[in-house]
């Protein structure tokens, strides 16, 4: 049997790339799929197989692939130059647009990735408060910074008691000092979180929160939880930091517009780059002043060779102009439709499954009830095995998903693509019940 073109490429890749990949998120057995092209919400691999793209490069393509308006703008900019040791007018125009969009964005600084945005935001909070420790939610993903990634892969063997979660390393060799400086709190548990935070009064620079954390279960933070964390930071000379690298798509002003209080700083990334590498952090002028080279003493010297490069700024500006209130509303309606159709499919099949999410995001769990925190969202060995079967079914039937069985919609999609997703998930649920009978949602006898 002749090997696929993707299989052949993977053999080459393994000789020069660790594990044959440059990012582990696209690795899968027996090999990754290699892309030929993308247009709108469809991607075609090098073997000629088209798929509907519900991954959208890990939520970074809000308008899908090769959007004509964005493409035309960046072609014009590339012809004028791609990077300069000079400032550009387009970075000012883009900063003005984003600051006008969100009331809490008084000043903004552009960087090159979501990881870098979160890292710089944490460092800014330390510089402003003169304190080192931060608190974060157990299981939440905030990029690859040593401090931000603590406990994002905790498991029952090492996560400790729920009332006092352990700070668990992700990368081997993480300094103990980094673990000691990160306080882990439970998600959406006001009393539990405050009890832990109160043990560290006077030590914390900031609390870091993703308001709809993908890894924690893609369940929105409750207003009560956000309000409690906000008030604690007011009472203890600390800052509240939001990671909206993914969730900024949830509303015109991000997920934060759904709360009564505003974070002091917000990290952005992914979709604000218009398909190019990007990050940014924004917030209070007095906090952002730690970066200001006009100050007598710069508390956080910060630069980046490609920060605010004109190609990314041009692409991002065009993308976010297009993602106006009408586009946000329409896409969120598609998200609601998708979650509703998937829920109906779950009920028809009779499988232990549920769907969570917000706005244009969703995640399918092989659990009877939606999780409310990371420990409830954590997959057992059986659930993880079943999830692989489901994802492989979807991939073989022209559906691309994120490997947690999550979807991030794009404005290039219509109700037709949403309907196809629900239909293929329903077929996948039937397949799972055949192969993993324990997932059948058999009513209990009373």
Identified catalytic residue from 33, 181, 243, 264: 243
What is the tens place of the pLDDT at every residue in 304-323? 999 999 999 999 999 999 99
Q: Quick one: 44 and 109 in the same domain?
A: no
What is the tens place of the pLDDT at every residue in 263-300? 999 999 999 999 999 999 999 999 999 999 999 999 99
Q: Quick one: 317 and 376 in the same domain?
A: no
Q: Quick one: 134 and 274 in the same domain?
A: yes
- CATH no. for residue 160? 3.40.640.10
In a domain, 25, yes or no: no
Q: Quick one: 316 and 233 in the same domain?
A: yes
pLDDT, residue 215, reads 94
- Boundary (domain end) residue, out of 322, 344, 366: 322
Q: How many residues does the chain have?
A: 446
Identified catalytic residue from 123, 270, 352, 367: 270
d(CA 159, CA 157): 6
pLDDT, residue 387, reads 97
- Boundary (domain end) residue, out of 295, 322, 349: 322
Over range 238-258, report the average pLDDT: 98
Q: Quick one: 314 and 421 in the same domain?
A: no
Q: Quick one: 272 and 193 in the same domain?
A: yes
In a domain, 368, yes or no: yes
Say if residue 444's pLDDT is above 60.
no
Q: Quick one: 318 and 335 in the same domain?
A: no
For 405: left if phi > 0, alpha if psi spans -120 to 50, otherwise beta; the answer is left
Say if residue 216's pLDDT is above 70.
yes
In a domain, 277, yes or no: yes
Structural domain boundaries, residue 368: 33-62+324-439
pLDDT, residue 1, reads 65
Q: Quick one: 55 and 133 in the same domain?
A: no
Give how many domains the chain has, as a whole number.
Answer: 2
Tokens 């308001």, residue located: 211
d(CA 164, CA 189): 12
Identified catalytic residue from 45, 107, 136, 141: 141
- What band does 2 get if pLDDT is binned at 50, 70 and 90? confident
In a domain, 27, yes or no: no
pLDDT, residue 209, reads 98
What is the tens place of the pLDDT at every residue in 257-267? 999 999 999 99
Over range 410-425, report the average pLDDT: 98
pLDDT, residue 445, reads 35
In a domain, 15, yes or no: no
243: annotated active-site residue: yes
pLDDT, residue 441, reads 85
Residue 64 per-residue DSSP state: -
Query: Which residues on adjacent β-strands are paired with residue 282?
Result: 108, 266
pLDDT, residue 263, reads 98
In a domain, 115, yes or no: yes
Q: Quick one: 187 and 290 in the same domain?
A: yes
Share of the chain above pLDDT 90, in %: 97
What is the tens place of the pLDDT at every residue in 357-412? 999 999 999 999 999 999 999 999 999 999 999 999 999 999 999 999 999 999 99
Q: For the chain, what is the mean pLDDT?
A: 96
In a domain, 245, yes or no: yes
pLDDT, residue 446, reads 30
Q: Quick one: 210 and 135 in the same domain?
A: yes
- Boundary (domain end) residue, out of 271, 289, 322: 322
107: annotated active-site residue: no
What is the tens place of the pLDDT at every residue in 111-169? 999 999 999 999 999 999 999 999 999 999 999 999 999 999 999 999 999 999 999 99
Q: Quick one: 117 and 177 in the same domain?
A: yes
In a domain, 9, yes or no: no
Q: Quick one: 55 and 77 in the same domain?
A: no
pLDDT, residue 443, reads 52
- CATH no. for residue 52? 3.90.1150.10
């Amino acid at each position: 049997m002749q090997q696929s073109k993707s299989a052949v490429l993977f053999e080459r890749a393994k000789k020069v790339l660790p594990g044959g990949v440059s990012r582990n998120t696209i690795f899968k057995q027996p090999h990754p799929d290699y892309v030929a092209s993308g247009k709108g919400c469809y991607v075609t691999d090098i073997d000629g197989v088209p798929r509907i793209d519900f991954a959208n490069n890990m939520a970074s393509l809000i308008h899908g692939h090769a959007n004509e308006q964005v493409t035309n703008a960046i072609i014009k900019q590339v012809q004028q130059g791609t990077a300069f040791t000079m400032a550009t007018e387009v970075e000012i125009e883009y900063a003005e647009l984003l600051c006008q969009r969100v009331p809490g964005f008084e000043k903004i600084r552009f960087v090159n990735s979501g990881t870098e945005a979160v890292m710089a935001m944490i460092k800014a909070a330390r510089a402003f408060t003169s304190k080192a420790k931060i608190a974060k939610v157990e299981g939440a993903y905030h990029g690859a910074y040593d401090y931000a990634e603590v406990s994002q892969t905790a498991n029952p063997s090492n996560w400790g008691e729920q009332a006092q979660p352990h700070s668990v390393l992700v990368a081997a060799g993480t300094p103990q000092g980094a673990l000691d400086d990160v306080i882990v709190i439970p998600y959406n548990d006001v009393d539990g979180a405050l009890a832990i935070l109160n043990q560290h009064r006077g030590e914390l620079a900031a609390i870091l929160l993703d308001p709809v954390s993908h890894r924690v279960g893609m369940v929105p933070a409750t207003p009560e939880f956000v309000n409690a964390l906000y008030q604690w930071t007011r009472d203890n000379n600390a800052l509240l930091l939001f990671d909206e690298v993914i969730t900024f798509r949830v509303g015109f002003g991000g997920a934060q517009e759904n709360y009564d209080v505003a974070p002091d700083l917000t990290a952005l990334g992914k979709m604000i780059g218009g398909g190019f590498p990007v990050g940014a952090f924004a917030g209070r002028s007095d906090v952002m002043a730690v970066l200001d080279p006009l100050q007598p003493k710069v508390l956080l010297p910060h630069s980046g060779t490609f920060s605010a490069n004109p190609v990314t700024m041009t692409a991002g500006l065009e993308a976010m102009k297009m993602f106006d209130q009408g586009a946000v509303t329409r896409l969120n309606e598609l998200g609601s439709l998708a979650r509703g159709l998937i829920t109906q499919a779950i009920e028809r099949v009779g499988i232990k499954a549920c769907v969570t999410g917000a706005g244009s995001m969703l995640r399918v769990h092989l659990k009877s009830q939606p999780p409310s925190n990371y420990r409830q969202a954590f997959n057992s060995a059986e659930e993880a095995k079943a999830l692989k079967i489901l994802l492989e079914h979807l991939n073989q039937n022209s559906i691309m998903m994120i490997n947690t069985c999550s979807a991030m919609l794009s404005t290039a999609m219509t109700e037709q693509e949403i309907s196809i997703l629900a239909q293929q998930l329903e077929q996948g649920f039937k397949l799972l019940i055949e192969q993993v009978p324990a997932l059948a949602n058999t009513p209990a006898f009373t």
